[in-house]
Amino acid sequence: MALSEFQLIHRYFESSRFAAATGAGVIVGVGDDAAVLRMPPESDLAVSIDTLVRGVHFPADMAPADIAWRSLAVNLSDMAAMGAQPLWFTLALTMDRADESWLEPFSRTLAEIAARFGVALVGGDTTRGPLTISIEIHGAVPRSGALLRSGAHPGDGLYVTGWPGLAALGLRRLGSGEVVSDDPAVAAFLRPEPRVAFGIGLRGLASAAIDVSDGLLADAGHIAERSAVALEIDVARLPLAAALQGLETREDAWSLCLSGGDDYELCFTAPAQSAGAIARLAQRHALPCTRIGTVSAGEGVHCHGFEPPRAGFDHFGGLA
Q: Is position 98 an interface residue for ligand ADP (rule: CB under 6 A)?
A: no
Q: How far apart are CA 111 and CA 136, in angstroms?
A: 15
Answer for which of 95, 121, 167, 185 binds ligand ADP (CB under 6 A) is 121
Beta strands in the chain (DSSP E): 26-28, 36-37, 43-53, 85-95, 120-128, 132-142, 157-161, 208-212, 230-234, 265-270, 289-296, 300-304, 313-314, 318-319
Minimum distance from CB of 319 to ligand ADP (Å)?
A: 33
Query: Which of these ranges, 36-44, 117-125, 153-161, 240-248, lies near ligand ADP under the rule CB under 6 A?
Result: 117-125
Answer for which of 2, 16, 27, 33 binds Mg ion (CB under 5 A) is 33
With respect to Mg ion, which residue has the nearer C-beta, 6 or 97? 6
What are the strands of the beta sheet with 230-234, ordered from one edge? 208-212, 265-270, 157-161, 289-296, 230-234, 300-304
Among residues 281, 139, 138, 263, the alpha carbon closest in space to that of 204 is found at: 281
CB 241, CB 184: distance < 8 Å? yes
Binding positions for ligand ADP, 123-182, rule CB under 6 A: 123-126
Q: Is position 248 an interface residue for Mg ion (rule: CB under 5 A)?
A: no
Q: How far apart are CA 21 and CA 168, in angstroms?
A: 31
Binding positions for ligand ADP, 53-92, rule CB under 6 A: 91
The count of residues interacting with ligand ADP (CB under 6 A) is 13
Within 10 Å of residue 134's Cβ, how many Cβ atoms? 18
The count of residues interacting with Mg ion (CB under 5 A) is 1
Q: How far apart are CA 25 and CA 5, in angstroms?
A: 27
- 30 interface partner picked from ligand ADP, Mg ion, none, CB below 5 to 8 A per type: ligand ADP
Q: Is position 9 an interface residue for ligand ADP (rule: CB under 6 A)?
A: yes
Q: Is position 182 an interface residue for Mg ion (rule: CB under 5 A)?
A: no
Q: Is position 90 an interface residue for Mg ion (rule: CB under 5 A)?
A: no
**Positions that interact with ligand ADP (CB under 6 A):** 9, 13, 30-33, 91, 93, 121, 123-126
